Structure 1
Amino acid sequence: MLIGKFELKRSFVTRSGLLSIVTFAVVWCVILLYPLRLAAELLVQEKGLMQGFSFFDVIGFGSLQQWLVPEFGLFWHFALVIFPLLSIMLAADQTCSDRDRGTLRFIVVRSSRDRVFFGRFAGIMVIQVLLIGAAALSTLALVLYRDAALFSSALPALLVVTVNVILAVLPFTAMMAALSAKVKSARQATVWAILIWTFLAAIIGGLAYYLPTLAFLTLLVPGYQLSNLAELSGWHTLQLAYVPLLQSLVLLAVGRWIMARQTL
């Protein structure tokens, strides 16, 4: 708990942490007030004016019409892109910088490597839960500003998207925990994450295309299910919840193995 609290303090009290939070808040406000709000208004108008045809069907986002509250359907699509990328950046420096400076060896004098590894992971996840919750609540405020009568319909959507986005970022945070336990800096962890993510997805995708029996290997790619999730709505989005949970368990096990054998 102390190690997790330290991560929270580093993100919400220090100057660099506050700068990151403010930057995220500004970027999210721009997304909320312009593309998300305007697209939601367009969806509402289409439901009232057009039958059997939708602009969103043409551009490949017809699943947005399945959401009772358009704002949360749009939030769902934006969040599946923004928060995994944000997770890679936020979670890159879990243990690597402390090990490079030599402070990690002093930390483990009063704690175990497991506690440091899982404490940092838990702290980063709490930070992301707070950011996801704040983004979802701001979307709820936008819904109520448009129509306060939608409150009862918006609450289930709020819960659905919050739980699912948290599940979506779990394997990315676990992947960064494993990489941070191996490399020397947050920059290296970020670069390796992008390279591994890109090449692993390409190699496994190619194998699955030519050898369909190897399609199960796509389970090894963090976030491979995101494109399928984007086609679902409501509580149906939990159909694939087992994928990020299994990926997170495997990546955390790998990260713990690396942490236990890594020279401090």
Structure 2
Amino acid sequence: MKKIVMGLLTLGIVGGMAINTASAAVMGDDYPAHLKNASPDSKVDSWTMYNRECVSFVAWRLHAHNKFELPVGFGSAWQWGSQAKARGHRVDNIPSVGSVAWFAAGHVAWVAEVAGNNVVIEEYNYNYNHNYHRRTVDKSAVSGFIHFKDLTTTAGTTQTTPKSQAKNTAINVGSTVKFAGVFQVNVVNIAKNSVASDKLSGGRSTTLNLIDAVPLDETTASGTKSGNQVLAVGEYFKVNGTYRVLAIDRPSNGIKVKIGAYETWLDINQAMVL
């Protein structure tokens, strides 16, 4: 393969990247050791929930990162939507970072990342294994999102794309675009042979901003092709080719395109419509 990436990228770095369109970091398995190392349902947490259950993990995450204390005895997961509404909390179909993804069949998870309809959730006891799990779901698959105390940029989150007005208002789904700038590598993912650039992402790069390295050319900072075509953090690249816009998230100025093998969300302001 001509274009590859190199560098060290631990799971913690991959899992710690942000997303939303306003986003918090995916935290990984930060569930307290005394709860996760014990046998499932052998301990009761501070919210009177059994350890290694989905409700206990979400209660912990709300406490640790949202700075919100779930009332004691909030009930089984299937009750959370009605319980939250009864206590005056908003429950709707609009995901936000830090909200709770509620599944009426009896499951809850913490929303870590949002981009368009894609929602990255963190959870415990998915598929009844009583362990930590992370996955991406379509927002339509969730019964409702409970907004106890959503995270915002002032709470330590970052923007994956800017909130400033988009320059390229002529770009629509189906438009053909190119990315003519020179971009610096800020993240590498060796496993997926991909990179991300904060400039091209429109903010701190996230797991949704990874770009297949194959169509990229390593360049100097001024845009002259050079180097060994093995991209590393701090080096520069150009994006070759033209791409069809698959989706647009206007509030975040994000557009989704497929570059090489992967679909990715990039800043609309870095694109040129053809």
TM over 0.5: no
The structure whose RCO (Cα within 8 Å, separation 6+) is larger is: 1
Higher helix share: 1
What is the TM-score with the length of structure 2 in the denominator? 0.28
